[in-house]
Amino acid sequence: MKPTKIQLSEKDIPTSWYNIMADIDFPMEPPLHPETKEPIGPEALEPIFPMALIGQEVSQERWIEIPEEVRDIYALYRPSPLFRAHRLEAALGTPAKIYYKYEGVSPAGSHKPNTAIAQAYYNKEAGVKRIATETGAGQWGSAISLACNYFDIECMVYMVKVSYEQKPYRRSLMEIWGANVIPSPSDQTEFGRKILAQDPESLGSLGIAISEAMGDAASREDTNYALGSVLNHVMLHQTVIGLETKKQMEIAGDYPDVIIGCCGGGSNLAGLSFPFLADKFAGKDVRVVAAEPKACPTLTEGKCEYDFGDTAGMTPLLKMYTLGHEFVPAGIHAGGLRYHGDSPIISALYEHDLIEAVAVHQNPVFESAVQFARTEGIVPAPESAHAVRVAIDEALEAKKTGEPKTILFGLSGHGHFDLASYDAYLAGKLIDYDYASEES
């Protein structure tokens, strides 16, 4: 048998998260107050986050211990498997070796629970009784619902109304785990009521939903807010992915020449690549590539400047690559990559040429996803399929040059709740939107 799957045992679940802030040699620019535009301190976040997470947000410690209770829940699905893609390699006829780390084994089907569980834990420790959050397509919403359930925290999810209506099964998943899910804009918050007054038929947007969830959390003593990407502590929690992968690559007797991850807010790419970037800082030669959609090419076509995280302008201003907080990406099927901004750390690494970025269209993305499903079996989430596309392109390039390189990519989730998008692809109905083109 050719070794296919490198599976660690649960004693190999990392005991600490890796904090890249300890190793970067450039200063990060601070978040600014949304109104005064002055740098804000950690205390500004206290109304909506527990102090432990705020501490992690600004920490310079290289290693931050993972609480035992969090590792116990990680053990329900971690360590996740690393696969050598023998069948995909053979189909491509490439001399490259392709590895992928699969996060779809979590009950919610993506890497999102890695941070959701940690966030729920620290909120519980701080005595928080209720968490409010937003969700678009539902990946984050289902992860935080699962996590809150484990810590007996009430979970309130503002789900973008168009998704609430079109993707009922993601909503079902959240409800099975006990969350309260309502369509946004809603009449539960001041901001929601304002939007509904202007347009009772509003289908909502992620920006509106964020504003509703933050408003909910800010207005209630017992409630905090939780965010599934962008922030430093989210990137931190996701490093369990890369830490496990390093052990697994060592068992495989290989080291990646290039690491690829899809990148929306950046947490999946960060999680897989940061532990390897630590080696790069120490002189190792390894490329890291962000795969993003051409319809929302934040790194490849955005500007690195201060911008709001939400549409309404309620969040602190963050220095990041952005297409403008009012930019509404075309309706591509990779809902998780439709974000105007990017993680400040990912942005800074990109600005300092420590990582690269490639933008791809959704038809070639789904083409690669189907090729992957037919060789490796797993049906990728549309988001993850962006990484599949870029990995295949690297492997085909290696075929051209004859270079036997080692490619590692992150398969951040499965596509079980996204099969309508595969139907559309197979029926030839997907449109490849360019940046700035209008949604049809």
Binding stretches for its own copies (CB under 8 A): 1-5, 7-11, 13, 68, 71-72, 75-77, 83, 87, 105-107, 109, 146, 149-150, 168-169, 172-173, 175-178, 370, 373-374, 376-379, 416-417, 419-420, 422-423, 426
Cβ distance to its own copies smaller for residue 146 or 358: 146
User: Are the C-beta atoms of residues 232 and 56 closer than 8 Å to each other?
Assistant: yes
CB of 27 to its own copies, least distance (A): 38
CB of 324 to its own copies, least distance (A): 35
Compute CA distances 124 → 71, 339, 373, whole Å.
15, 29, 39
CB of 262 to its own copies, least distance (A): 19
Cβ distance to its own copies smaller for residue 10 or 434: 10
Please tell me the distance from the alpha carbon of residue 334 to that of residue 382, in angstroms, as a whole number.
5
Q: Which of 222, 244, 176, 438 is nearest to 330 (CA)?
A: 438
CB of 437 to its own copies, least distance (A): 27
Which letter does DSSP use for residue 81 in this model?
P
Cβ distance to its own copies smaller for residue 79 or 341: 79
CB of 71 to its own copies, least distance (A): 6
Tokens matching residue 144: 């935080």
Q: What angle do CA 304, 349, 244 make, to 5 degrees?
A: 140
Helix (H, G, I), strand (E, B) or coil at 180: strand
* Residues whose CB is less than 8 angstroms from the CB of residue 279 and which lie 6 or more positions away in sequence, other chains included: 286
Evaluate the omega torsion of the peptide bond into residue 107 and state whether it is cis, within 30 degrees of 0.
no
Beta bridge partners of 63: 18
Tokens matching residue 385: 């399929």
CB of 372 to its own copies, least distance (A): 10
Tokens matching residue 416: 């079980």
CB of 30 to its own copies, least distance (A): 37
Cβ distance to its own copies smaller for residue 7 or 219: 7
> For residue 400, which phi and psi values (nearest 5 degrees)?
-65, -45
Report the largest interatomic distance among the alpha carbons of the chain, rounded to a whole angstrom: 64
Cβ distance to its own copies smaller for residue 105 or 286: 105
Cβ distance to its own copies smaller for residue 39 or 107: 107
CB of 172 to its own copies, least distance (A): 4
Cβ distance to its own copies smaller for residue 57 or 175: 175
* Residues whose CB is less than 8 angstroms from the CB of residue 69 and which lie 6 or more positions away in sequence, other chains included: 121
CB of 386 to its own copies, least distance (A): 17
Cβ distance to its own copies smaller for residue 284 or 374: 374
User: Are the C-beta atoms of residues 267 and 110 closer than 8 Å to each other?
Assistant: no
Cβ distance to its own copies smaller for residue 56 or 142: 142
Please tell me the distance from the alpha carbon of residue 257 to that of residue 209, in angstroms, as a whole number.
40
Tokens matching residue 149: 């359930």
For 285, counting Cβ atoms within 10 Å of its Cβ (0-12 exposed, 13-18 middle, 19+ buried), the class is exposed
